[in-house]
Amino acid sequence: MHHRNQILNLTAAALAGSLLAGCATTESTSSGHSSWGSSYRAVQGTEQPARNAGFRAASEAEFELLKKSVLFTDDDVRYLRLSRAVLEPNVDELLDVWYGFVGSNEHLVYYFSHPTTKQPDGEYLDRVRGRFREWVLTTADADFDQDWLNHQLEIGLRHHRLKKNRTDGVEAVDHIPMRYVIALHYPITTTLKPFLARGGHSDKDVQGMYEAWRKAVLMTAILWSQPYVEPGDF
Ligand code: HEM
């Protein structure tokens, strides 16, 4: 209970903070994409799968086969892009819901907390929230090119002990188990659906956007799982 109250306070602080952080760090690149502070889009036109911490990002050809495997088609790209305008004005409220979910689950907020004091780190939550916000919009942009694939490996590493905590220079629990990264696919997409209905689109289009998001977040979680498995097993 103590934790829960604390997190509600943190969430409010995070909302205010991330709005400010967003103003300070978000810039537009020449392709019109939002950047991520030290943006993965800052260097344009990467053609090669990145190598990072001993892993290689998926290539565009490999990603094509992953898309086929989850039935992700050009219709899904169109639906993701349709969702962008629906989600953008609601993204902070959406993040409140997702942060509320993590914050009300002690076993999840633990990964934003100091390993010995178990105190959640408000500044860490706040800073990650800014990047989470960008992720929502970038996913809706659906420009799943090699730059994007390279960045997915980086995000996977940031959930893993190989790179967790480094971006923000924090002293938090150093590793998120893969089972939770995969599990969050469900609550993240389920809670998204009511937000997708806010744009006044037909039921068919809302359902289409929802299905596209389910597939996109599933592919995201799959790509992020690479650092968790033996090289060659991914
Ligand atoms: C489908 C599942 C998940 C999604 C879509 C997601 C989304 C994100 C995003 C977009 C970021 C920012 C990445 C960046 O640095 O650019 C992030 C970072 C982070 N996420 Fe997740 N996440 C998921 C699962 C989880 C789980 C299960 C936890 C455990 C509570 C978690 C905790 C964190 C933490 C602590 C960070 C900051 C990592 C760092 O130190 O850089 N995430 N997540």
Contact 155, 96 (CB under 8 A): no
The CA distances from residue 155 to 61, 93, 105, 117, 201, in Å, are 20, 23, 22, 26, 32
User: Does the pLDDT value for residue 96 go beyond 70?
Assistant: yes
Mean pLDDT across the stretch 212-218? 98
Ligand 1 centroid distance, CA of 204 (Å): 30
Place of tokens 């907390």: 113
The parent domain of residue 171 ranges over 2-32+58-228
pLDDT interval class at 137 (50, 70, 90): very high
Is residue 50 in a domain? no
Is residue 161 in a domain? yes
Mean pLDDT across the stretch 106-128? 98
Is residue 233 in a domain? no
Question: The pTM is what?
Answer: 0.85
> 82 CB under 6 A from ligand 1?
no
Residue 136 burial by Cβ neighbours in a 10 Å radius (0-12, 13-18, 19+): buried
Residue 225: closest CA among 175, 170, 157 = 157
> Which DSSP state fits 120?
B
Instruction: Please write the tens of the pLDDT for every residue from 48-83.
Output: 999 999 999 999 999 999 999 999 999 999 999 999
User: Does the pLDDT value for residue 180 go beyond 70?
Assistant: yes
> 217 CB under 6 A from ligand 1?
yes
pLDDT of residue 231: 86
Query: What does the block give as tokens for 114?
Result: 């100091």
Percent of the chain with pLDDT over 90: 79
Rounded CA separation 184/29 (Å) = 30
Is residue 51 in a domain? no
| Widest distance between CA atoms in the chain | 50
User: Does the pLDDT value for residue 182 go beyond 50?
Assistant: yes
User: Does the pLDDT value for residue 7 go beyond 60?
Assistant: no
User: Does the pLDDT value for residue 38 go beyond 70?
Assistant: no
Query: What does the block give as tokens for 215?
Result: 């597939």
Is residue 42 in a domain? no
Is residue 47 in a domain? no
CATH code, domain carrying 134? 1.10.490.10
pLDDT of residue 45: 64
Rounded CA separation 187/175 (Å) = 20
Number of domains within the chain: 1
Which of the listed residues 124, 128, 137, 166 should we mutate to test ligand 1's pocket, taking the one with most ligand atoms within 8 A of CB?
128
Ligand 1 centroid distance, CA of 67 (Å): 22
Is residue 74 in a domain? yes
Contact 117, 6 (CB under 8 A): no
Rounded CA separation 63/223 (Å) = 9
* Dihedral of alpha carbons 202, 204, 208, 211, sign: positive
Q: Which atom of ligand 1 is nearest to 180's Cα?
A: 27
> 178 CB under 6 A from ligand 1?
no
Is residue 171 in a domain? yes
- For the beta carbon of residue 111, count every other beta carbon within 10 angstroms: 20
